[in-house]
Chains A and B, each alone.
Chain A
Amino acid sequence: MIQNLKRYGTLMGFGFIVLFFWANLPETFMTARNWLNISQQVSMLAVIAFTMTIVMVMGDFDLSVGSMASLSGITAALLFAHGYPVAVGLLAGLAVGVVGGLFNGFLVSLVGILPFVATLGTLTMYSGIAFLVSDGKTIFGRDIPRDFSGIARSGLEIPALEITVPFLTILALGVLLLVWFLLEHTAFGRRLYAIGGNYEAARLAGVKVRRLRLIAFGLTGLGAALGGLMLASRVASANPTQGSGLMLDAIAAVFLGMTMSREGEPRVLATLVGVLILGLLDNGLTQMNVDSFVREILVGAIILAAVAISSLGKR
């Protein structure tokens, strides 16, 4: 009984949340339209949380993803403002993510700074750079090309079902598939899990721990940048702080997911459940006109409850 509660508590909580909103919002909640809407709302958080899972598999963290998301959005928007084509802005934004991520990896794996401290430092640095290059201003309106903001508005129409699947949702699903494949079905992913299982053992068993850690942080940086570009496209603007809320939510989503595995390991499919729980709460509570501060209290309490239940029976 306790075993099942530990293992499936989070999933049961997810089911309960769905039923709760379904009962309270019978007209609007359980509709394809609303769920597609939710999927688009959570898509940036999802991308960042999925790629955050990659470093958390090794037992590491990346606190800089939020400011990295802002920085990549700003970078792209600045290039747009200077008349560069959309593709250049996108590539530059992603490149900034890779470089920033690799820099985190360099600090953590080669210099040997604790991930918490290293990425706390780069969080502040990346945020400062975003302010510096943008002069602290929001870039919006005519500076943002329609082709760019159109990305978030486009979608795949499925006439038979009379729905349009948002492009951002498809993008997030693509990232999910890639990360899932990488972590669960390649030697690369298995080695990351080995590092998380026992760093020293992995090193002595011939795993190139430093190189893998470097690459993993690079991928997390890339994911953060992609999330930032998606966000900038969706709101058709970029400012130096718009991504900052994403970091805590992404880590929370991975933690919620970790409560679902037997040994408490991050799994990217479980991270998806974590993302959905956060997204559903946001969507449902907003529809029920619940104050956003109350929402925050609820989200925090749910995370604590999930972690507490999953550690039941541990000494």
Chain B
Amino acid sequence: MAFLSLQNVSKSYGAAKALDAVHLAIEPGEVHALMGENGAGKSTLIRILAGVTRPDSMEMMLDGARVRINGPQDAYDLGLRFVHQELNIVAHLSVAENIVLGRAYPRRFGVAVDWKALNRQALGALKRLKITHIDPARKMARLTTGDQMLVKIAALLLDDGAQAARLYVMDEPTATLTGDESQKLFDVIRELTASGASVLYVSHRMNEIMAICDRVTVLRDGRHMATRALSDTGREELIHLMTGRELETAYPPRLSPVQERVHLSCTNLSTAHIADIGFDLRAGEVLGIAGLANTGQSELLLALLGVDKPKSGRITFDGQTKRHNPAAAWRSKIAYIPRERRRDGLMLTRSIIDNITLPHLKKFTRAVGVQSARHERAHAAQLARDVALKSDSLRQPAYQLSGGNQQKVMLARAIGDAPDLLLLDEPTRGVDVGAKYDIYTLIRALSAKGTAVILTSSDLPELTGMCDRILVMRDGKQHAIIDTTGLSPADLLATFYD
């Protein structure tokens, strides 16, 4: 029997209906998945639950009594807790201080902070989640992203007493986590549900949903499509519910064979972060970079882009060496999409056009340095069509777009000059199923034209499904290069460990 139920939740932004008479019911001790493409209304629903956004209409029942949420404090008092995708941590304070942040520090003589008691409290919170490997006295900055997430969850546990937590809402908590770290999170989720709390879990990752969730509610275009038990719902059915179309295969097939010409060649390459990298990449080839988190995948891409300078070894493009800086890289048709697109990729307050044309401004320069705004707009419009970008206008600032469309802006930028080498760092992270498929299709099309692609991903089926070969890294070093013919994600995972 559901303890929390929402009925008839609607919310409009102008003419657009973000939510249209949606309903949701949560049972005690369940993990309830909330699924849907980007823009389906998941975030709006969560913001309404958190008391950040006011719905146009909503009937909410808790334990059979009508309740209202008029602000974040109401949500808190009702026992709702939120784990956001972005970690709001204070990096230079200790784990314990991050846990008690915003509450009273335990004190001695009424003034001095009682550090022992503080660490004890923090340790208690961590222990409740059966987490023993994190030292409360450590600086938060020195923890892995995954451990930081666990600390944030522990912080939520510290103060349940009077208003015990009933429901944890987790919005893509594994987006920044490795497989190992995700496992720890899932253990924690089991702990939480075992103690009677429920979890509302938002994720694009089908495997996780299947593994840890009991029931699922699917939204599409702001409407409630279905609520099902996951034990009798298949993947295909879920994708169909979310997108309204069939995806025959998750990964589109190669359009033409890899070319013979070697485009990129790394010999014995070492930088401050990686070592002993050596491989040849042929035109049209798709090479995956895999491994446990933070073993140098991103740093390898940064070395190829010229951000990190080589300490030894060499990189040649079509047999020639180039200067090591990003400007020279883009000039020689190397394009790059960073892992953190909001932090390192987008100019959020600037227009889609500005974001797309940034590395290609020279193309539109006429006499005496004058920019041709007309050519620039036409060029950006063409690229936006090529990547199937959905926006109201190309003058829209980038922050107004959904995650999937922001990534398409980055792709449009990357393909703007028909790159010979495309470096993609986690290109489908936080991107919905439909947009993912668009990205895969685009990679295939580029590769057929002879673009060599290097992509990192923590999504193992994506690596085995899209790549011709996979370079496995361990502790910043190249461990192996594997052909993906007949390679299963499980086989790949096995190569990460000794």
Contact = CB atoms under 8 A, between A and B. Distances in A.
B346 A206 contact: no
Interface stretch (B54-62, B147-155, B324-332, B481-489): B324-332
A187 B362 CA distance: 7
B220 interface: no
A200 B345 CA distance: 7
B350 A197 contact: yes
Nearest to A196: B347
B397 A263 contact: yes
A201 interface: yes
Interface string A264-287: 110000000000000000000000
B326 A194 contact: no
Q: Is the interface of B mostly helix, strand, loop or mixed?
A: helix
A204 B338 contact: yes
B370 A201 contact: no
B327 A188 contact: no
Contact of A206 (B326, B343, B345, B347): B326
Contacts of B330: 205-206
The residue among A197, A201, A205 with the most chain B CB atoms within 10 A of its own CB is: A205
B354 A206 contact: no
Contact of B331 (A197, A201, A206, A263): A206
Contacts of A191: 358, 361
Nearest to B336: A204
Given A197-B347, A197-B348, A197-B350, A202 B371 contact: no
B327 A198 contact: no
A161 B362 CA distance: 45
A222 B397 CA distance: 33
Contact of B369 (A188, A194, A205, A206): A188
> What is the predominant secondary structure among interface residues of chain A facing chain B?
helix
Contacts of A203: 326
A190 B380 CA distance: 15
A207 interface: yes
Interface in B334-387: 336, 338, 343-350, 354, 358-359, 361-362, 364-365, 369-371
A186 B331 CA distance: 19
Bin the interface of chain B by size: 20 to 34
Contacts of A264: 349
B277 interface: no
A184 to B, nearest CB: 9
A185 interface: yes
A164 B327 CA distance: 50
A187 B338 contact: no
A198 B346 contact: yes
B331 A204 contact: no
B413 interface: yes
Given A186-B370, A190-B361, A206 B349 contact: no
A205 B358 contact: yes
A208 interface: yes
A225 B354 CA distance: 33
B210 interface: no
A193 B354 contact: yes
B349 A204 contact: no
Contact of B327 (A186, A200, A207): A207
A212 to B, nearest CB: 11
Given A205-B413, A208-B327, A193 B350 contact: yes
Given A203-B326, A205-B326, A206-B359, 18 more contacts: A186-B369, A187-B362, A187-B365, A190-B361, A190-B371, A197-B347, A198-B344, A198-B346, A198-B347, A201-B346, A201-B347, A202-B358, A204-B307, A205-B330, A206-B330, A208-B325, A208-B327, A263-B350
23 contacts: A185-B371, A186-B365, A186-B370, A187-B371, A191-B361, A193-B350, A194-B354, A198-B345, A200-B344, A201-B345, A201-B346, A201-B358, A202-B347, A203-B326, A204-B305, A204-B336, A204-B344, A205-B326, A205-B336, A206-B327, A207-B358, A208-B327, A263-B350
